[in-house]
Chain A
Amino acid sequence: MTHWLIVPVVLPALMAPFIVLAARYHLSIQRVMSVATMLALVALGAGLMWQTSDGTVLLYQLGDWAAPFGIVLVGDRLSTMMVLLTAILALFVLIYAIGSGWDTRGRHFHALYQFQLMGILGAFLTGDLFNLFVFFEVLLIASYGLMIHAGGNERLKAGVQYVLFNLLGSTLFLFALGSIYAETGTLNMADLAIRVQGLEPGAETAGLRVAAVLLILVFAIKAALVPLHFWLPSSYAEAPAPVAALFAIMTKVGAYAIIRVYTMVFPAEIEATAGLHGTWLLPLALVSVAVGALGILAAKKLDRLVTFAVISSMGTVLVAVGMFSQVGIAAALYYMLHSTLAAAILFLVVDLTRHGRDTLQLITRAPVAGAALTAGLFFFGAIAMTGLPPLSGFLGKIMVLQAGFAQPAAVWIFSVILISSLVSVVGFGRAGSTVYWKANIVEPDPESEATAPSVMAYAGVGGLAAVLILLTVFAGQVHSYTQATSAQLFAPNTYLSVVLETPGKLSDPKGGE
């Protein structure tokens, strides 16, 4: 019996109370423990990914109860990849948070950070829908705590909107779970898949269809799909920079859940839920891409600009997901990795820009402290985000477009994505040239006490940038991994049999109870 699969959830869940209990007043201890946990998580994520890379499905039965009666954690190519991505992101963002001193500006930063990770990692690993709800709650409440970290009127206001909207989402999630349980009598995803597939033709489907729709709407809220994205711009813009950077993974939780549930439980080809997500997700995702791009162009502040870039890039992910094809999902997964890193880099760079600038409005101010490096990093992030060569954004976009060829809406996919790219390029170009170039016409204020950001802050951003470059250089390897992942998703037999046929306490599916 190995327990590696649950360690990514339990480790931060133990570290956080330990910090609260023992290291409440010792920032340096908190920092050391936090970073050590992140390093461990990266190692764990890599190990798990290596274990599942050959197609193995890892199963962990909580309390020794077999699915569907108890809760199970499942590690396959997809979930372990997301775990590793989260760990890497969290490590560098944490380094930035420490380097920039953000963790000193309020209480319990590190504890909340650990809890947040527990929620995200749990959401990626669980194989049970209700447990997914619990982890959504954990990550929501922790994210609210992190979001309003360090206070301030604007931030608190945005925080209230954030938490209210997401509570509506949670309520909807409960409705969806109630519907699903009423309709199918189970909450384990694998069991659900079997039961839904076993539905006889001509049987009643209305209830199941509503359940499927309610559930995808919950995930769409998390993934900031237009028109359910309204919570995102102001909350991400007002959140402390490292928190916003970490949140880059949170929208991906929504996308992940859509991919997981809607390839396995409600695949596009089953008749009972035909004409729902398989038809509607793609057009809405295209609208998201466009709205995001327009938002980039319309933004009057640098941080708002980045939040709309997030919406646009989530739109691109969902366009690829919405194709519900094997190549589409493979492209979506690659783009998801890219989009997470690019968004995080941009949020951190925006924070670096704050050094010596009184406002993030797109107006001319004297050059910021450490301007050249910061501007360079912004240029890097903007290239990545807008999908210009040579970074991974371009490769991801090409993958999405290629996957789009087979779609009936190919013309729309091509035009919306390419034109939106142009609009984003114009938006980023305008903003960047005003903030970083035009600054040179203003004489720096000799009395300004702004110091350049610390080396450690740059190290955090640089680390993420390095990972993004690796993602570009090893695009072939990564893409073949996401292709294998996608293949596994479209052939879920191993997953289903591992989850449902492994005996647990008092139940043995093969030999009866």
Chain B
Amino acid sequence: MSLFLIVAVPFLGALLPGLMNSAGRKACAGVTFMVTLVAFVGLLSQLPAVLAGEVVQARVEWLPALGLNVNLHLDGLAFFFAALILGIGLLIIAYARSYLARGDNMGEFFTYLLLFQGAMVGIVLSDNILLLLIFWEMTSLASFLLIGYWKHVVEGRQGARMALTVTGMGGLALIGGLLILGQIAGSYDLSVILENREAIQASPLYVPALLLILLGCFTKSAQFPFHFWLPRAMAAPTPVSAYLHSATMVKAGIFMMARLWPVLSGTTEWFVIVTTAGLLTMVIGALIALFKHDLKALLAYSTVSHLGLITMLLGTGTAFGAMAAMFHILNHATFKAALFMSAGIVDHEAKTRDIRLLGGLRKLMPITFVIATIAALSMAGIPFLNGFLSKEQMLEEANRTVLFGAPWLVPVLATVGSLFSAAYCFRFIGHTFFGPVRDDYPAKPHDPGAGLWLPPAILVVLVIVIGVAPFLAEPFVKLVTADVLGAAAEVPKAYFKIWHGLVPALFMSIIAVVGGFLMYLVFAPLLRAWDATPRPDAKPMFDGVIAGAVALARGLIAPIHDGAFTRYAAVMVLAVLGAGYYAFGTGVVGATAREMQPMTPIAVGGWAMVIAATAVLVVMHRYRLFALVMIGIVGLMVSAGFVFFSAPDLAMTQFTVEVVTIILLLLALNFLPKRTPDESGALRRIRDAGIGIIGGIAATALSFHYLMRDAIEGPISAFHVANSYKGGGGTNMVNVILVDFRGFDTYGEIIVLGIAALLIYALTETLLSGPVRARLLNRKPDQAFAGDAHPMMMVVLTRVIMPIVLMVGFYIFLRGHNEPGGGFIAGLIVSIAVVMQYMASGFGWTSARLRYPYHGVIGAGVLVAGLTGIGSWFVGKPFLTSDFTYVRIPPFQEFELATAALFDVGVFLAVVGAVMLSLESFSRLARRVDMVESEHPMEINPARDDPAEDPLNELRKARTETA
């Protein structure tokens, strides 16, 4: 079967359990089992090639530019691990089928399990280290989901997060390390990297790469001081603990070290770090395991200890060490998975895993007893079981290893580790199965069905077979070792056998087993001593670190993101000022190219008025109406400035915009208190004033700088001046720019205006349907309303003026193309005419006479402008291409017709619609349900002689009543 399929089958198969969930538990587990079986058989189909020493390859490009390709390979090492993963996977699935309770979502469980399986197989088959990284992190994620599988269990959630954090940290370090490694080797393919031993070890980046990679491996394989996550991960269901956290995932770090052994090992750094970490982990793990009461915790720490053992063997950097490591991986996988499953059986049947509540199960659960005992004795290193063999090799290797110049250090620690290891194995057997039968088990234990005991039993058979006939495993282990060593070393000649003669390793082994048994005998006093010794606990430390990090993050982030807008603005302004100042200061300042102009009294007067109005505005801005007046003065002076600089179009626009804005703002002021409350203290105001003044000075200086100098080349406006009439058909260059040269900008801007109006409308609408509505209805105006809201004089005047204003608007519109004017200004003027009607006769009266809804006017305006633009498509010209012609319709003189005028109609409509819709929205806020709408244009009308409708009578009555 293709390597792609072997990796892909579990991933694709992961879709099935969820699907089969409703078909029942048997179907669900069965389908999962079949998926794994298919992958396993596929793997076995490659066995002949692997045994022949071939490296099976499968390659497909994914991200070649990055060096990330789906390159898979299968050599002995990969095959070994893949077989472990899939083989034990089969047993675990069978076991989990019986283990999971009825209430557990089996589909979810098996989906995660298959995802994990696929990722794990991916790790070991990857020839590309970036691809390997992807699978690596996926195992962390799958492990996260599986540890937290029982979502209601607090330990599960916390353990999942802790595992993700620690292994995630390692994974990120690994990313860095592998990227550096690939950079040194010039490729991310393992096959290339493994050939570059010299180049890599000579590189100055070797040490950082090594440290980062080892951080990844140590966290994944729970090496000291990152071992603490593994026991917390035991909150997962037992099949997960047995599979991920003892047999496979935690071996990923070891696999990685083995895989990169040819290029990384052999240096002092590698030797010291890896051997020390391994040795410490082995001893500390075994010691803690001895005093754990939870069966799974005991096994978890024992796993930590054994992983340390393997790590140490890899760290020594000798071929023999590597071989022993491989052999121990095989042995550990068999006996430890069996032990976990046995612990799970005990938990499942007795409903507790606390070793203090157990004992005497030998009689109640004979099958489980046999299985667990054989596996545990193997772990303790008893002859004729496989654990003995690899432990002997380990001790032999330890004997030859000299760390920190002390030849006794490694052998002694290795023996001590083995001694503790033997002790907890005896305790596991003794305290669980021996002793008197109790009558206080949480549940009455008995042997389970074959579904639970058969999987570990199969493993135990392997334990015995290898233990009795090690020569059966020898060729395979040597094949694997050859692939670990690569070109770096030769496979050692040593034979696997039970009796090596009276070598030191044998005596060390005897010391360990006998010492272990002695420790078991005096366990009770030892436990008391242990309990009395204070020792650091990783959980509160880890929680403390995380809580500290969260507190630190909150302390840094929350105070500066508290919604204080003035500070946000101040930071922004200061950033702009600082950056601008820096940029200016580091540049070359050239000489001025222009003369200063003389000051005229008019200019000085205008300038003084703007300054004065602004200064007064700053001081008096809390008085809203007053502020509005000041803003009006500034606006008018700006218009005057445009006139002064001969820009009548701009002046007219600015002027009409001022009028409309002031009217709209007045309407808005109607709903606000007269005075803005003080919000900032004196210090804040000084700070803000300082920033404001610096900003103003900077803007002035910059303007001055630019005004005194010419552009790099002549500005493009020269073209506009030259071609305004020839190409645009207008002599008013400003208008031609607006509707022709840069008509697209205008198109955008009228849309902005239209959106603004729609926005005001939508906002009003939401306000009126919310709580604000009630506040508006209940508000007490702080000044009495005028008695006569719609005075006759004003009504008459606006009526008379209306046609004149419309005429002016029309005139301004028409002449726009050649003289100052245009659709924008015309729109504003016409709006003012209509606004005056609203002011004079009231909202109700006017809108009752309104034929076109303003929404539609805006929409029509934007549409007309857009369609005018599209019109030019029909003559094969780009959007908004203008054309013009001169026509003569008697009795008029010849005049110009330009398509730009049609565009201007769109502008005109959009402006009218936008202004009027905004006005209408404001008025809607003022209207009240209980308000009596007069149907007359003015309230007091002498021409009307119906006294009942005369509001004057009402008014008089009200006055008398108040008096």
Known A-B contacts A137-B748, A152-B770, A476-B63; A230 and B870 likewise in contact (beta carbons under 8 Å): no
Given contacts A185-B716, A198-B712, A479-B66, contact A422 B748 (CB under 8 A): no
Once A185-B712, A298-B557, A421-B172 are accepted as A-B contacts, the answer to whether A62 and B879 lie under 8 Å apart by CB is yes
Closest to A175 in B: B699
For A440, the chain B residues whose CB sits under 8 A away are: 151-152
Residue B812 interfacial (CB < 8 Å): no
- Chain A residues near B861 (CB, 8 Å)? 17
Q: Contact between B584 and A60 (Cβ–Cβ < 8 Å)?
A: no
* A107→B65 contact, CB < 8 A: no
Contacts known (A106-B766, A295-B553, A505-B727); A210 close to B583, Cβ less than 8 A: yes
What is the distance, in angstroms, from A471's C-beta to the closest C-beta of chain B? Answer: 12
Q: Which of B904-924 contact A (CB under 8 A)?
A: none
Segment 332-390 of A: residues with Cβ below 8 Å from B = 379, 383, 388-390
CB pair B715–A186 under 8 Å, yes or no, is yes
Query: Are B715's CB and A181's CB within 8 A?
Result: yes
With A141-B755, A234-B563 as contacts: A418 and B176 at CB distance below 8 Å: yes
Q: From known contacts A186-B715, A298-B554, A298-B556, infer whether A405 and B165 are also in contact, taking CB-CB under 8 Å.
A: no
Task: Tell yes or no: A501 within 8 A of B by CB.
Answer: no
Q: Which residues of B contact A62 (CB under 8 A)?
A: 743-744, 878-880
Q: How far is the CB of B185 from chain A (nearest CB, A)?
A: 13
Highest count of chain A CB atoms <10 Å: which of B175, B176, B873: B175
**B667 CB–A CB distance under 8 Å:** no
Tell me the bound Cα distance from A55 to B770 in angstroms. Answer: 54
Contacting residues of chain B (620-665) with chain A, CB-CB under 8 angstroms: none
Q: Give the docked Cα–Cα distance between A127 and B532 (Å).
A: 77
Max chain B CB contacts within 10 Å: which of A161, A276, A294? A294
B15 to chain A, nearest CB (A): 13
A298 touches B583 (CB 8 A): no
Which chain A residue lies CB-closest to B592? A204
Residue among B556, B706, B858 with the highest chain A CB neighbour number at 10 A = B706
Q: In the complex, are the beta carbons of A207 and B715 less than 8 A apart? A: no
The answer, yes or no, to whether B709 is at the interface (CB within 8 Å) is yes
**Interface majority SS (helix, strand, loop, mixed), chain B:** helix
Given A68-B716, A185-B715, A426-B546, verify A144-B759 contact (CB < 8 Å): yes
- Cα–Cα distance between A383 and B550 once the two chains are bound (Å): 20
Is the Cβ of A475 less than 8 Å from the Cβ of B137? Answer: no
Contact yes or no, B706 A205, CB < 8 A:
no
Q: Does B588 lie at the interface of the complex (its beta carbon under 8 Å from any beta carbon of A)?
A: yes
CA distance A172 to B575 in the complex (A): 12
Q: Which residue of A lies closest to B137 (CB)?
A: A389
Cα–Cα distance between A61 and B744 once the two chains are bound (Å)? 10
Q: Is B201 an interface residue (CB 8 A)?
A: no
A59 CB → nearest B CB, Å: 10
The verdict on A20 contacting B157 (CB below 8 Å), with A138-B751, A298-B553 known, is no
Q: Whole-angstrom distance from the CB of B824 to the nearest CB of chain A? A: 14
B549 touches A423 (CB 8 A): yes
Question: Which residues of chain B are near A111, meaning CB under 8 Å?
Answer: 758
CA A198 – CA B711 in complex, angstroms? 12
Please tell me which stretch of B88-96, B565-573, B786-794 contacts chain A, meaning at least 4 of its Cβ atoms lie within 8 angstroms of it.
B565-573
Q: How far is it, in angstroms, between the C-alpha of A384 and the C-alpha of B888 when the chains are bound?
A: 68
The bracket for how many chain A residues form the interface is 35 or more
CB of A295, distance to nearest CB on chain B (Å)? 5
Task: Judge whether B165 and A425 touch: CB under 8 Å.
Answer: yes
A206 touching B587, Cβ below 8 Å: yes
Complex: A204 Cα to B546 Cα, angstroms: 54
Beta-carbon contact of B572 and A106 below 8 Å: no
Contact of B748 among A1, A135, A209, A419 (CB under 8 A): A135
Q: For chain B, residues 736 to 771, give those with C-beta under 8 angstroms from any C-beta of chain A.
A: 740-745, 747-749, 751-752, 754-756, 758-759, 761-763, 765-767, 769-770
| A199→B565 contact, CB < 8 A | no
B714 at the interface (CB under 8 A from A): yes
B755–A398 CB distance below 8 A = no
CA distance A438 to B569 in the complex (A): 40
Residues facing A in B422-476 (CB within 8 A) are: none
Q: Is A480 interfacial (CB-CB < 8 Å)?
A: yes
Report Cα–Cα, A24/B169, bound state, in Å: 54
Interface centre among A179, A207, A479 (most CB of B within 10 A): A207
How far is it, in angstroms, between the C-alpha of A152 and the C-alpha of B770 when the chains are bound? 8
Indicate whether A37 reaches chain B with its CB closer than 8 angstroms: no
A469 in the interface (beta carbon within 8 A)? no
| Interface 9-residue window, one of B73-81, B127-135, B259-267, B364-372 | B127-135
Within 8 Å CB of B743, what residues of A?
62-63
Contacts A151-B770, A389-B135 known; A21 to B565 CB distance under 8 Å? no
User: Is B878's CB under 8 angstroms from A61's CB?
Assistant: yes
Residue B705 interfacial (CB < 8 Å): yes
Q: Are B712 and A184 in contact (CB under 8 A)?
A: yes
Stretch at the interface among A6-14, A82-90, A242-250, A252-260: A6-14
B154 surroundings in chain A (CB, below 8 A): 441
> When the two chains form their complex, are residues A20 and B758 in contact, meaning their CB atoms are under 8 A apart?
yes
Question: Are B588 and A202 in contact (CB-based, < 8 A)?
Answer: yes
A32 interface residue per 8 A CB criterion: no
Given the known inter-chain contacts A210-B580, A210-B584, please indicate yes or no for A115 contacting B568, CB distance below 8 A.
no
Contact B557–A6 (Cβ < 8 Å): no
Question: For window 18-75 of chain A, which residues contact chain B by CB distance below 8 Å?
Answer: 18-22, 24, 60-65, 68-71
Nearest opposing residue in chain B for A115, CB measure: B755
Query: Are A430 and B161 within 8 A (Cβ)?
Result: yes
**Bound: A217/B576 CA distance, A:** 7
Which of B568, B587, B702 makes the CB contact (< 8 A) with A230? B568
A456 within 8 A of B: no
**Which residues of B sit under 8 angstroms from A379, Cβ to Cβ?**
145
Best-surrounded residue of A172, A191, A213, A480 (most CB of chain B within 10 A): A213
| Bound-state Cα–Cα, A14 to B584, Å | 44
A466 within 8 A of B: no
CB contacts (< 8 Å) of A291 on chain B: these are: 557
A64-B878, A141-B756, A207-B706 known; A70 and B712 CB under 8 Å?
A: no
Is there an interface contact between A1 and B588, defined as CB atoms closer than 8 Å?
A: no
Q: Does A490 contact B (CB under 8 A)?
A: no
Please tell me which one of the listed residues B169, B705, B769 contacts residue A422 in the complex, with CB atoms under 8 A apart: B169
Residue of B nearest to A109 (CB): B762
- The residue that A150 contacts in the complex, of B145, B589, B705, B766, with Cβ under 8 A, is B766
Knowing A130-B742, A184-B713, A479-B65, the reply to whether A172 touches B561 (Cβ < 8 A) is no
CB pair A221 B572 closer than 8 Å: yes
A66 to B89 Cα, complex, angstroms: 70
Indicate if A319 sits at the interface (CB-CB under 8 A). no
| B interface residue numbers (CB < 8 A to A) | 61-66, 68, 130, 133-138, 140-141, 144-145, 148, 151-152, 154, 157, 160-161, 164-165, 168-169, 172-173, 175-176, 179, 183, 546, 549-550, 552-554, 556-558, 560-561, 563, 565, 568-569, 571-573, 575-576, 579-580, 582-591, 699, 702, 705-707, 709, 711-716, 719-720, 723, 726-727, 740-745, 747-749, 751-752, 754-756, 758-759, 761-763, 765-767, 769-770, 855-856, 858-863, 866-867, 869-870, 872-873, 876-882
Q: A107-B758, A134-B748 are in contact. List 5 more A-B contacts (CB 8 A).
A: A69-B716, A137-B748, A383-B141, A423-B549, A441-B154
Chain A residues packing against B (C-beta within 8 Å): 1, 3, 6, 10, 13-14, 16-22, 24, 60-65, 68-71, 106-108, 111-112, 115, 118, 122, 130-131, 134-135, 137-138, 141-142, 144-145, 148-152, 157, 160-161, 164-165, 168, 172, 175, 178-179, 181-188, 191, 195-196, 198-199, 202-210, 212-214, 217, 221, 227-228, 230-231, 233-234, 272, 275-276, 280, 291, 294-295, 297-298, 308, 379, 383, 388-390, 394-395, 397-399, 401-402, 405, 414, 418-419, 421-423, 425-426, 429-430, 433, 437-441, 475-476, 479-480, 483, 505-507, 513
A-B contact pairs, 24 of them (CB 8 A): A6-B878, A63-B880, A64-B877, A111-B758, A134-B745, A137-B748, A138-B752, A144-B759, A145-B759, A178-B706, A179-B706, A184-B711, A204-B587, A206-B583, A230-B561, A230-B571, A272-B587, A298-B550, A298-B558, A388-B141, A425-B168, A437-B151, A438-B157, A506-B723
